[in-house]
Amino acid sequence: MLGKCKIINMQVNVINQDNSLEQVLLLAQENSGAYVCVSNVHMCMEVFDSSAFAEIVNNADLVIPDGKPLSWAQKLLGHNNASQVRGQDIMNSLCASSREQPLNIGFYGGSSEALLNTVKEKLVASYPGINITYAFSPPFRLLTEEEDDAVVQGINSSDVNVLFVGIGCPKQERWMAEHKAQLNCVMLGVGAAYDFIAGSKKHAPRWMQKIGMEWLFRLCSEPKRLWRRYFSTNPRFIWHFGKQLLKHKLSRKGLVERD
């Protein structure tokens, strides 16, 4: 059983890249619904703000620490083996695995069918032999019951093993939880991964990722869209995690009771 670490109100698995890939592949082989949350500071504060969303994330089959601050938080709370596991790296590894074993890949999300076509072209070029059996870009509205049923039937009839869901947090996590019982695959919430693969958005340099400043690169790239999120969530995360860490330190010294 994989260990978990509570960061503010969110339960995050203490895991590394290899463990994460292994667990997702195991879930993909079960032929039943499962979902993986790719967590970061934004998701952590969404969990803090909503008990309903907290239930969705904390009941996920796997919660990986995609954001560097989360793996730092795990280390500060005593998990010395904690490691950042970037969702994009897991996605790349799964696409590579699709060439080597029977593993069907599906895509749900993206801003347009044209974007998804570019994503498929890029991945086929990077991973010759990849098995992509389903791709759908939903409209920017709630699907009707009939449309949703057609999506479920399309995914299941395409024998998808791993479905990448890219419609943004917290929408994608809610969608995965709502469809877990209906689908026969493992779902991963991958946020803006399609845009990164297609090249419409740029990755932060590796050195910025390593020092936990990927958020700053993204903010500079999309200031109008992201400034409110980062200047709201980051200070709040530091404040609430700071209180948790102080309580943790005091509890180890026997000055306060543990939860």
Whether residue 205 lies inside any domain: the answer is: no
Most confident of 102-111, 185-194, 199-208, 235-244: 235-244
Residue 213's pLDDT band (boundaries 50, 70, 90)? low
Structure tokens at 138: 């939903």
Q: Among residues 230, 232, 104, which one has the least CA distance to residue 162? A: 104
Task: Report the domain count for the chain.
Answer: 1
- Beta strands 34-39 and 186-189 are parallel
Judge contact between 85 and 64, C-beta under 8 A.
yes
Judge contact between 165 and 108, C-beta under 8 A.
yes
Whether residue 28 lies inside any domain: the answer is: yes
Across 35-50, average pLDDT: 96
Q: Among residues 110, 163, 92, 114, which one has the least CA distance to residue 134? A: 163
Whether residue 48 lies inside any domain: the answer is: yes
Owning domain of residue 81: 4-195
Whether residue 64 lies inside any domain: the answer is: yes
Whether residue 242 lies inside any domain: the answer is: no
Whether residue 12 lies inside any domain: the answer is: yes
Rounded Cα distance, 204 and 202, in Å? 7
Whether residue 252 lies inside any domain: the answer is: no
Beta carbons within 8 Å of 21's beta carbon, 6+ residues apart: 90, 93, 94, 97
Whether residue 232 lies inside any domain: the answer is: no
Rounded Cα distance, 159 and 177, in Å? 19
CA atoms within a 13 Å half-sphere pointing along the CA-CB vector of 161: 19
Residue 251's pLDDT band (boundaries 50, 70, 90)? confident
| pTM as predicted | 0.89
